[in-house]
Structure 1
Amino acid sequence: MSGTSADGVDAAVCAISGSGKSTQVRLLHFTCQPYDAEVRAEVLAVSQPPAGTVDRLCRLHYVLGEVFAQAALAALRGAGLSPADAHLIASHGQTVHHLPAADPLGRWLARSTLQLGEPAVIAQRTGVLTVANFRAADIAAGGQGAPLVPYADWVLLGDPQHDRAVQNIGGIANVTFLPAGGSLAEVVAFDTGPGNMLLDGAVRHFSGGARSYDTGGALAATGTPHPELLAWLMAHPFLAQPPPRSPGREAFGSEYLAAILAQAAARRLSEPDLLATLTAFTAASIADAYRRWLPRLPAEVFLGGGGTHNATLRRMLAAALPGVALRTHADFGIPDDAKEAIAFALLGNEALLGVPANVPGATGARPAILGQICFP
């Protein structure tokens, strides 16, 4: 899979047995295959209208099928396996547009989402049955198509005695609340707001594209958050929207970043001060979402995604959630960067078994079997 940061393809080779809460998952190998610079630039470009023309989307859909196929083959080689050893490939694809609010077109009203990376190409290049397009069934069943990882969170990370939150910080940040001993129907999950997307965009802006992220939050650590700009950011209407909710790149994408850069320029903020403010925005929006929309604060939070590596963000989040223990997926034996790829492997397994794997409390949908199958 590749997330909204569009930095490459995460591929996990997993041995899976069972289904539902009895599922057993063992990670055999994990790799991240960075996008070529030209591919990443095209992904970011077509994710914003009006650049996302039909000819560019059509071409990129098949190019990404090739890219994902090569990532799957590389992961299998890393595990010491051949394609003949694999029962299925589960591919989330690359989200380029996500419209979770029903949009009218004449007499029709529909939510929609678009993930690129043609699964037929993956199946043909690898010779392995491929399950893909997971979000479509949830939308067809009345949901928002996101977040989908909460099912894996419930399977892998629930605890019989302690309330837990699982906080992914990718391009977009999302939380799964797992009540102690809770059933799937009791799981609450939603997107909290921006993760790394605005930070990465600001770094690319200031560096002229030479840098793509603030390594470890080092630059932000030398700056000071600007209170007035932070208050302006926290007034974003998405943050007041009750769950289920799932923004796309559209909500916190290039237009919003341009507005932030204009605000920063008017206040003559340095790059470190703006990065500190944006880092504080991610932390504050996560903490605000917990207090507004979770049944109660969890005893502990498991952090995952690229934001886990940002020490400044982790420090700010700890300050915003006093008394809540912050841990990582690695503390639970799951590599922080591998979690979402593992989650889609699990969803692919449930698809073949005919088991609904969306979380109605996360997306607002009816239970649905997720994924479409392409044979090699």
Structure 2
Amino acid sequence: MDKQLGIGLMSGTSLDGIDAVLIEIEGSSINTKVNVIESLTHEYRSDVRTAIKELCDPEIASLEKICSMNMFLGRELGMIVNELLDKAGIGKEDVLFVSSHGQTIFHKPVGGESRMDVPGTLQIGDLSMLSEMTGITAVGDFRTADMSAGGQGAPLVSFVDYILFNNPDRSRAIQNIGGIGNVTYIPRNAKKDQVMSFDTGPGNMVIDEVVYRLTEGKQAYDKDGRIAYKGEVNKKLLNKLMEHPYFTVKPPKTTGRELFGSSFVDSFMRDSADLSFEDRVATVTAWTAKTIAESYSCFIESSRNSIDDVVIGGGGSYNPFLMEQLHRYLPNQIVYKHEDFQLSSDLKEAIAFAILGYHCLIGQSNQIPSATGAHNPVIMGKISHTQQQAFQRLNDLRGNLH
């Protein structure tokens, strides 16, 4: 199969913005090969970030605003793709697809007692708008296919982690620290059904929100861990944070702003009212590291499983204080960054969703049931092409597959 050009778009729970990457891709499954051509990052303006955050809060979100933001983000994604192509000097007619994670505003992995209260998830950023803005086939809305097969719709990047990090001699925990933390555990010389993955808990989400509130919106995150370095970790409060019931739930499991969003931070702010700004930030940063280490100890490491390497990606990998805490809580593992494997932490998830989108287009399953809890493998993703030429490019590819 010939190499193809595709674009991956990632906008995560941290609400910091959108990462876009143009890749060249060939092969499939464990034989997939990817080469990064160009990339860019588009930071959300403060008004957009605030508006999205409000949509994640069921108490103040409205159907009208969700409807409008869905189309607005589709348009924004399209503009970013066009900017990326201009930067790369490549025309839309040469690109097979654009694959978008979408912006998660609600994720409900477990249903309720009513027959209508079923698990579900909602990512916005309309695919038809994206396709129309770019003239390229758009792929997205991946999580619902996994949930339709009984999975939790996350973590989805485990499929890509298996492709990139499977090793015959080393067992690895591939840890992403975005808004939420999630891990993919890959035993030595693993088969796909031996891969395990789950959300470890908050990544940067609570740290960012605490910083944002205590600086009255002047800072969106703790750059280089500078605030945390000035504080001390409050062990009593740290232990109380570790008592959250999520950390005792067995995998597969996922979480998001539903558990660790504004209401959770409200409670934290009350419980930490007698602490300094710096101590609060140091404590929640250490908490993120400890939740990761405890998750490994409770749910991965056993007489049969061990972890040789921990590979950290996502925005949290750029926080030196958080990395120091991880080294402290993981004394028996070698802790790497994605960059040690010639992979950008900033672009990893955008690359991942490009790979997921490509597999959707060629009709191959692109999730790991043992990671998500699904009953069976599925082909995740929905496809939109509003222009004839976009459809024709995809049709030509499928013709070449047969």
TM-score, with structure 2 as normaliser = 0.91
Give the distance between the partners of 1:112 and 1:333, measured in 2 at CA: 35
> Does 2:14 align with 1:8?
no
1:301 and 2:307 are equivalent in the alignment:
no
AA paired with 1:151? F
Post-superposition offset of 1:323: 2.3
Aligned 8 A contact 1:119 1:131 in 2: yes
Q: How much does 1:109 deviate? A: 4.1
Partner of 2:148: 140
User: Match of 2:68, as an amino acid?
Assistant: R
Counterpart in the other structure of 2:223: 215
1:244 aligns to 2:252 (yes or no): yes
Q: Does 1:281 align with 2:277?
A: no
The answer to whether the 8 Å contact 1:47/1:97 transfers is: yes
Question: Which letter maps to 1:163?
Answer: S
Alpha-carbon distance in structure 1 between the residues aligned to 2:88 and 2:309: 33
Structure 2 counterpart of 1:257, one-letter code: V
Which structure 2 residues correspond to residues 22-61 of structure 1 after superposition, within 5 A?
Answer: 22-61=31-70
Measure, in 2, the Cα distance between the counterparts of 1:103 and 1:112.
11
- CA distance in 2 between counterparts of 1:104 and 1:281 reads 33
Counterpart-to-counterpart distance in 2, 1:262 and 1:84: 55
The match for 1:176 among 175, 184, 196 is 184
One-letter amino acid matched to 2:124: L
Corresponding residue for 2:5? Answer: none
2:377 alignment partner AA: P
Unaligned runs of 5+ in 1: none
Counterpart in 1 of 2:7?
Answer: none
Does structure 2 conserve the Cα–Cα contact (< 8 Å) formed by 1:202 and 1:257? Answer: yes
- Residue 270 (1) aligns with residue 280 (2): no
Partner of 1:373: 383
Aligned residues: 373
Alpha-carbon separation, structure 2, partners of 1:254 and 1:335: 30
AA matched with 1:221: Y
Deviations 1:310-363 (A, max 9, x none): 000000000000021111111111111000000000000100111111111111
The C-alpha deviation readout for 1:284-310, integer Å capped at 9, x for no partner, is 000000001114341111110000100
| Distance in 2 between residues matched to 1:297 and 1:114, nearest whole Å | 35
1:79 corresponds to 2:85? no
Using the TM superposition, give the Cα deviation of residue 277 of structure 1 relative to its aligned residue in structure 2, in angstroms. Answer: 0.4
- Partner Cα distance (1:232, 1:79) in 2: 49
Please tell me whether the aligned partners of residues 201 and 247 of structure 2 are also in contact (alpha carbons under 8 angstroms). yes
Report the CA distance between 1:248 and its aligned residue: 1.9
Q: Which residue of 2 aligns with 1:197?
A: 205
Partner of 2:392: none
| 1:316 and 2:325 are equivalent in the alignment | yes
- Equivalent runs, 1:288-367 vs 2, <5 Å: 288-295=294-301, 296-365=305-374, 366-367=376-377
Contact kept in structure 2, 1:290 and 1:297, CA below 8 Å: no
SS in 1 for 2:112: strand
CA distance in 2, matches of 1:76, 1:224: 46
Q: Determine the C-alpha separation between the residues in 1 that align with 2:329 and 2:281.
A: 17
2:247 aligns to what SS in structure 1?
Answer: helix
Corresponding residue SS for 1:103 = coil
Please state how far the C-alpha of 1:103 moved relative to its aligned partner. 2.7
Shift of 1:36: 2.0
Distance in 2 (CA, whole Å) between partners of 1:219 and 1:109 is 42
* Paired amino acid for 2:72: V
1:101 matched to 2:106: no
What letter is aligned with 2:264? Y
Deviations 1:10-59 (A, max 9, x none): 11111110111011111111211111222111011110112211001000
CA distance, structure 2, for counterparts of residue 14 and residue 333 of structure 1:
15
In the TM superposition, residue 180 of structure 1 has moved relative to its aligned partner by 1.1
Q: What letter corresponds to residue 130 of structure 1 in structure 2?
A: A
> Contact between 2:202 and 2:256, CA under 8 Å: does it hold in 1?
no
Alignment partner of 1:101: what SS? coil
SS of the equivalent of 1:251 reads helix
State the alpha-carbon separation in 2 of the partners of residues 166 and 78 from structure 1: 31
Write the distance in 2 (CA, Å) between the matches of 1:158 and 1:79: 31
String of CA shifts for 1:229-270, please: whole Å, max 9, x gaps.
0011000000000000001211100000000000001xx100
Against the structure 1 CA distance between its residues 230 and 299, is the aligned structure 2 distance closer, same or farther, given a 3 Å change threshold? Answer: same
SS in structure 2 opposite 1:175? strand
